[in-house]
Amino acid sequence: MYTLYYSPGAASLVVHLALLELGVPHELRAVDLKAGAQKSPDYLRLNPNGVVPTLLIDGEPYYEAAALVLLLGERHPEADLAPQAGDSQRATYLQWTLHLANTLQPAFRLWFYPADAGAVDADAVKAAARTRIEAAWDRLDAHLAARGPYMLGERFSLLDLYLTMLMRWSRNMPRPATEWPHLAALAAHIKARPSFRRAYEIEGLTEWA
């Protein structure tokens, strides 16, 4: 049994989508970020970073969205949503998952919260973050153009859910990810999946449906 601490549309969305795609029993516990619930002593005992997601696995808390995606894929190999050890596509899967975690997701953090960069000009921070995000879209779109329609070619994986969540975050940017044609096609594929529609219903999301 899994328990996911989440906030609608936050980084927990990819874990929620993964749980739905895997079809495994789970329960959800909402964390009110606006009220600062993620900084409460009780929550910090689960996740000292004070962010979502946190996933309880057999009662033990684990966090970091990319790590949870990788872990869920390994725990449920029967679903064939992640290349396992020895699979020829595993290296590509790991490479792009960590690229999203190390390059794209941190850039979004600076786009949304430029003060995290310290006592510097917020507009300059956002401009640099936008440049980094759009450069990532260039690389990802080129990859999909050459090897798509999914990140692993014809094979849908949890990696596609992670990328789609990050694309969703760009929806109000000057150039959203869907201005790149192959990224837009991937987003359309994922948004048509039952898991995406179900997550939207449960989390009460309406934007970018």
| Predicted structure pTM score | 0.97
Q: Which residue range(s) make up the domain with 24? A: 2-80+196-203
Reading phi first (left if > 0) and then psi (alpha if -120 to 50, else beta), residue 120 is in beta
Whichever domain contains 155, its CATH number is 1.20.1050.10
Tell me the per-residue pLDDT of 87-121, one tens digit each, with 9 for 90 and over: 999 999 999 999 999 999 999 999 999 998 888 89
Same domain membership, residue 124 and residue 103: yes
Instruction: Kindly indicate the confidence band of residue 1, based on its pLDDT and cuts at 50, 70 and 90.
Output: confident
- Residue 208 forms part of a structural domain: no
Q: What does the angle CA 71 – CA 75 – CA 76 come to, to the nearest 5 degrees?
A: 120
Answer whether residue 16 shows pLDDT above 90.
yes
Find all residues with CB under 8 Å of 8, minimum gap 6, and list them. 30, 203, 204, 205
Structure confidence by residue, pLDDT tens digits, 47-66: 999 999 999 999 999 999 99
Q: Structurally, how many domains does the chain consist of?
A: 2
Q: Which two tokens stand for residue 5?
A: 């601490």
123 with 168, same domain: the answer is: yes
HSE-CB of 21 using CA atoms within 13 angstroms:
28
Tokens of 146: 């050459």
Domain shared by 126 and 70, yes or no: no
Residues 13 and 36 in one domain: yes
What is the pLDDT of the chain when averaged over all its residues? 97
pLDDT of residue 174: 98
Same domain, 76 and 105: no
Average pLDDT in the 164-171 region?
98
For range 182-207, the mean pLDDT: 98
- Check whether 22 has a pLDDT greater than 90: yes
Eight-class DSSP state of 76: -
Q: Is residue 165 part of a domain?
A: yes
Average pLDDT over residues 140-149: 98
Quick one: average pLDDT of 9-34? 98
Residue 10's Cβ-count burial label (10 Å; 0-12, 13-18, 19+) is: buried
Q: What is the pLDDT of residue 119?
A: 83
